[in-house]
Structure 1
């Protein structure tokens, strides 16, 4: 079993090298479709970073967010999506391995579709497709 220090380091590296670039790319694609986003880094627990992508941060009554944070007691990652200022919350409690391109891109696409009716995949397609 992975110890706390190993989990903390693996989580920090996964956030910095995998999740943050994917969150930033998604925010950039959404921006081209007129969706206002902000990306925030914080520390939820001593030494544990968290990453939060907010949609409509200028309108608190309508903002939605996708947050990645660690549950150090369980040594898991919590993917939490909150819609309409937290009126609806979707939580995925998963292993550290869930911070990968496939999971994050799938979760981001679902999040943007539900929160802002924004199709991130269409931003990748050339005009005419």
Structure 2
């Protein structure tokens, strides 16, 4: 097994064991607040996790995607808001509760003006 295969395997584990849980929780929260949301995990040669969020009145969904930059052994956190794209390249260790929740909270504020109250409750004041 080469280093890219090892990285892909480690990314798959991180996506399933950490990020997917937070994405699914955020999708449930979105549904409870009248938004359309779904998650999708792609588990092939380019593993990635998507959260698609849409207000019923909007035509264009917003997407938060965590994927691999396998050739560089980095993770790409990408948030898409229509024509605007925000990208954060980070090490594999960036897939952890704190960073994923921080990114999800920022994504929900920008995409739907919806604070993730349950995230703020888990952290000290001023976290978000």
What TM-score does the superposition give when structure 2 sets the normalisation length?
0.84
Alignment correspondent of 1:8: 8
Structure 1 unaligned residues grouped into runs of 5+? none
Residues 38, 57 of structure 1: 8 Å contact kept: no
| Distance in 1 separating the partners of 2:58 and 2:11 | 29
Aligned Cα RMSD in Å?
A: 2.2
Q: Tell me, which stretches of 5 or more residues in structure 2 are unaligned?
A: 122-128
1:30 is paired with a residue of what secondary structure? helix
- Alpha-carbon deviation of 1:117? 0.6
Counterpart contact for 1:70–1:78, Cα < 8 Å:
yes
Higher helix fraction (1 or 2): 2
What is the count of residue pairs matched by the alignment?
A: 120
- Which residue does 1:92 correspond to in 2? 88
Contact 1:19–1:99 (CA under 8 A) maintained in structure 2: yes
Task: Report if aligned partners of 1:35, 1:55 keep a CA contact under 8 Å in 2.
Answer: yes
Aligned match of 2:33: 33
Point out 4+ residue stretches in structure 1 off by more than 4 angstroms: 57-60, 122-125
Q: Structure 1 length normalisation: TM-score?
A: 0.83
